[in-house]
Chains A and B, each alone.
Chain A
Amino acid sequence: MIQTIRAAGSFWLLRVFGSTIGRKLVMAVTGLGLCGFLIMHLAGNLLLYVGAEEYNHYADTLHAQAILLTIAEIGLLILFVGHIVLAFTTDRENSAARPVGYAMKQTKQPPSGMAAPASSIMMATGIVVLLFLLLHLADFRFSALGIRKHDGDDHFTKAVNILRDPLSAGVYIVGSLVLGYHVLHGFQSAFQTLGFNHPKYTPIIKFLSGLFAATVALGFGSFPLWAWAIQK
Chain B
Amino acid sequence: MSDKLNLTLKIWRQASPGAAGEFKSYKLYDISTDMSFLEMLDVLNEELIQKNDEPVAFDHDCREGICGMCNLMIDGQAHGPDLETTTCQLHMRRFRNGDTIVIEPWRARAFPVLKDLIVDRSAFDRIMQAGGFVSVNTGNAPDGNAILVDKDDADQAMDAATCIGCGACVAACKNASAMLFVAAKVSQYALLPQGRPERTARVQNMVAQMDQEGFGGCTNTNECEAACPAGISVSNIARLNREYLRATLTGAK
Contact = CB atoms under 8 A, between A and B. Distances in A.
Interface of A: 1-8, 12, 15-16, 18-25, 90, 93-109, 117, 119-120, 122, 185, 189, 192-198, 202
B220 A97 contact: no
B221 A98 contact: no
Looking at chain A's contact residues, is the secondary structure mostly helix, strand, loop, or mixed? loop
Interface stretch (B25-33, B44-52, B169-177): B169-177
B205 interface: yes
Interface stretch (B53-61, B143-151, B159-167, B210-218): B210-218
B194 interface: no
Contacts of A119: 219-222
Interface stretch (B34-42, B90-98, B105-113): B105-113
Contact of B208 (A8, A98, A202): A8
18 contacts: A1-B197, A1-B198, A6-B204, A7-B208, A19-B207, A20-B179, A20-B207, A95-B175, A96-B109, A97-B214, A98-B108, A102-B76, A105-B76, A106-B77, A108-B226, A119-B220, A119-B221, A195-B239
Contacts of B10: 103
B227 A194 contact: no
B238 A109 contact: no
Nearest to A1: B135
Contact of A7 (B205, B215, B238): B205
Interface in B57-112: 73, 75-78, 81, 83, 102, 104, 107-110
Interface in B106-162: 107-110, 130-131, 135
A93 B210 CA distance: 14
Nearest to A20: B217
A67 B177 CA distance: 44
Given A2-B202, A103-B23, A108 B172 contact: yes
B75 A106 contact: yes
A192 B208 contact: no
B219 A122 contact: yes
Given A3-B201, A103-B102, A106-B75, A24 B217 contact: yes
B16 interface: no
Given A97-B108, A119-B219, A107 B226 contact: yes
Contacts of B131: 2
A7 B135 CA distance: 20
Nearest to A16: B248
A96 B248 CA distance: 26
B227 to A, nearest CB: 5
Contacts of B217: 20-21, 23-24, 90, 93-94
Given A2-B198, A7-B208, A25-B245, A189 B107 contact: no
Contacts of A93: 216-217
Contacts of B12: 103
Given A109-B226, A195-B238, A98 B216 contact: yes
Nearest to B238: A197
Contacts of A198: 235
B24 interface: no
A154 B212 CA distance: 56
Given A7-B208, A19-B211, A100-B107, A192 B130 contact: no
Interface in B195-253: 197-198, 201-202, 204-205, 207-212, 214-223, 226-227, 234-235, 237-242, 244-245, 248, 251, 253
A85 to B, nearest CB: 15
Contact of A19 (B23, B110, B208): B208
Given A100-B107, A195-B241, A12 B253 contact: yes
Contacts of B201: 2-5
Contact of A97 (B102, B177, B209): B177
A109 B223 contact: yes
Contact of B240 (A21, A23, A95, A97): A21
A24 B248 CA distance: 14
B75 to A, nearest CB: 6
B221 A117 contact: yes
B116 to A, nearest CB: 14
Contacts of B109: 96-99
The 4 residue pairs across chains A and B that have the minimum distance between CB atoms: A195-B242, A197-B238, A97-B216, A20-B217
